[in-house]
Chain A
Amino acid sequence: MAVYKLVFAGPVGAGKTTAVQALSDIEVVSTESVATDETRRLKRTTTVAMDYGVMRLDNGDQVHLYGTPGQKRFDFMWEILAENALGLVLLLKGDAADPVADLRTYVNEFRSFIDQTGLVVGITHAEAAGWQVRQQVAREMQSLGLPSAVMEADPRSRAHMATLVGTLIHGLDPVRAGAPG
C-alpha cells in the first residue's frame, strides 16, 4: 500500500476544511485528535492548525488530505508534507479584496513545494466575485511561469473538488496518467 498526500491551502474562510471533508472517507479531524502515525509525526505536544482526511482507493493506496492555513511560520510542515506529495490545491476567495495578490503570496511562499509537485487553483465564493477574477488569476499564474490551472469551485461540492484534483493529477502526468473511462 502506498500513501500519497494532497495539500489544501488558502486564506481563512476559503473553504479548506469543507474541501477536505468533501473528499474524505472519514470525518475531518484536526491534528489535536488524530491518532495516525502520519499526523502524530507532525504533532508533538499541541494543535498545529491543520485539517486531516483520507481517501481510500480500491487498489489499497491511500491519499491523505491536509488542509493547512499556509502561514509562513508553518512552512516547515510543507517540507514534511512534500514527501510523496501529489501537489497543492490552492483555494482563493473570489470576493477577497485582491485574490491575485493572495495567489502571488501563496505561490511565493510555497514555490519550492509547487515546483516539486503541482498546483491547481479553485476560486471559491465565485458567485460574489466579479466575472473577471478567474481570468485575472489565470493571467497571473502564466506570468509566474505556471500552467494556468484555475477554475471556480464550490468546496461543498464533491464533483468540483474531484475536478480540481483530477486536473492536478493530469497536470502531473497529462497523458500517462491513463485515459479515463
Chain B
Amino acid sequence: MSDVLLVGLSDPEAGAIEVLMGRRWPNLKTHRLARGPRLELPEQDRSARNCTSCVIDLLSAGMRMRTPETEAALMQFLAARPAILLSRDPDSGWTGQPLPSGPAQQIVVVKTPYSSAQLLAGLVQILDPEHLSAAVKHDASPRVSTPPPHSAAAQTTPETPLLPAWRRALELAERLNQPAAVPAESAATARSNGAAAPALAARPSAKPAPRGIGLRTGAVPVLLRVFPELRTQPLMILGERILAAGDAVMLLFSNSVAFVACVQQGWVATGLRLPMLLKMLVTSTGVDQVTLQSLSNAEAERVVRERFGDLEHRMRLPLDTLTWELVATWFPALKLHPHGDLHLRLKRLPNFTRLGAVGPLDVQLAAACARAPQSMAALARQFPGREQEVYRFAVLTLLSGAAQVTPEDSALPAAAPLPSDAQRRGFFKSLLDRLF
C-alpha cells in the first residue's frame, strides 16, 4: 500500500486524518511534514518524496490564494501525485479553473472546516485504486473537484460478514445523515442567520410544546385551587402582591430597600443574604412590614445601578433560584393535600447545582417534566410513599417560574416498568447509587 504525505497539518488534525484513513485502509502509512514557523511549503525529505499521494493544508503551505506562482510551486511539489488540498478561503481560486494535473492525477479541494464524511470522500477519490482506474478510463471526468457532503463513495463499505461496532455506528450515522444532506453553503447560511438546520426542524421527535400557563399568566390561581392551604402562607401572599405589581417591583422592609425584582425578565438584585431574606419574608410579622413599589423595567434598571453601582453585576441573581430557596423553607412543616390534579411541563430545569433544598427525586421529576407534560397525580402514584415530595416539586417549579401548567390532555400517563429494560435499569440504578 502506498504512503500518504501529510503537509502542514497540526498534530491533532493529522492524527484525526490518520485514524480516519486507518479505518478504511488499515495498511496505509503516513508521513508528516509538520507546519513550520513560516507559511511556506516545507522541504521534502526522501520519505516524503516516496509518498504516492498528499494531503496539504494550503494556508500553512503559504498558498492561501491561487496565483500563477503558488500554482506552479504546488504542481512542482506534487510531482504528478494525487492530492487533497485543504482550503480555508472560499474565494481562494483553487476550485475555479482545473489545475494542470497529470492524466491520472486526482486533485480534490476540501473546504475547511470539513466533516469526516467530506474528507473521507476526498480520500476515496485519491486513494481508492478502482476509483483512480475509473478516472483514467473516463478521461473526461473533472480532475479538480470538491467532494459532495455525503458521496456514495464515502458510504461504500467493504463486504464483511460481521462488521465491528464502530463501522455499524458509522453506517447508521451516515444513513441518519442522508435526509439532512444540504449544500454546505446553505447550511452555513442558515446557521449564520441563527436558524436551526433543516434537519432540526424536521426532527420527528421535536413535538410542538402545548401552550402552557406560566407564573405571570395565571399559574398561581391554578396552584391555589389545587393546594388551598398555601393561601395563608405569608410568602405566598407576598408573591401574589409582587405578581400583581407588574413587570418590576421594589420591595422595602421597614422603609429600607430589600430587593428589586424584575419578574418579567427573571432577575432579582439584593444586597441581603438568604437567611436575612428568609427571616423577613416567611413570617407574618415580617411580611406585614413589607411595602412594595411598582417600577417599569427602565426604572428597575436605574434603581439597581444607583444602589449597587459597580457591584450591580454581582448583586443580580436569577429570580427562579432565589424563589425556589425561599419557598422551599415552608415544606418541612407543611403537609399538602391536593384538591385535584396539575399537569406540568418544565420550561427549563431548576438550577439544581445552586440549590440547597433539592434531592435526587427532584432531578428525576424534572427530567420527566422537561421531556413531556406530566400529571402530578400520576407521578405521585409512581412514587408511593413520596407523594409529598412530588407535590413539593410541583409547587416549587411553578412558583419559581421553571414550570408551566398545561392542558389536561397533553400530559403523558406515567410509564409502567418494562421487563425488557431490566438489564439497563440495573445499570441505571448502579450508576445513580454511585453518583448520589
Contact = CB atoms under 8 A, between A and B. Distances in A.
B78 to A, nearest CB: 22
Contacts of A113: 173
A46 B432 CA distance: 35
A2 B364 contact: no
A172 B370 CA distance: 11
A159 to B, nearest CB: 7
Contacts of B349: 138, 148-151, 167
B75 interface: no
Q: Output the residue of A57, A73, A107, A181 with the most chain B CB within 10 A.
A: A73
Given A45-B30, A47-B11, A58 B434 contact: yes
A64 interface: no
B364 A170 contact: yes
B176 interface: yes
Interface string B2-15: 00000000011111
Contacts of B172: 79, 82, 116
A60 to B, nearest CB: 9
Report the interface size class on chain B. 35 or more
Contact of B354 (A104, A132, A152): A152
Which DSSP category, helix, strand, loop or mixed, fits chain B's interface?
helix
Nearest to B384: A179
Contacts of B165: 80, 83
Given A132-B266, A166-B435, A45 B199 contact: no
Nearest to B9: A73
A108 B197 contact: yes
Contacts of B30: 45
A13 interface: no
Given A45-B22, A111-B197, A170-B368, A178 B113 contact: no
B76 interface: no
A132 B265 CA distance: 9
Given A59-B427, A170-B368, 16 more contacts: A45-B15, A46-B15, A72-B113, A75-B116, A79-B170, A80-B165, A82-B172, A83-B166, A108-B191, A148-B370, A163-B363, A167-B367, A174-B364, A175-B414, A178-B425, A180-B436
Interface of B: 11-20, 22-23, 30, 112-117, 119-120, 165-166, 168-170, 172-173, 176-177, 180, 191, 194, 196-197, 199-200, 203, 205-207, 209, 265-267, 313, 316-318, 346-354, 359-361, 363-364, 366-368, 370-371, 382-383, 386, 414-415, 417-418, 421, 423-436
21 contacts: A45-B19, A46-B11, A48-B16, A59-B426, A59-B430, A73-B115, A73-B119, A74-B116, A130-B316, A132-B318, A145-B207, A148-B348, A148-B349, A165-B435, A174-B371, A175-B414, A175-B415, A176-B418, A176-B421, A177-B428, A180-B359
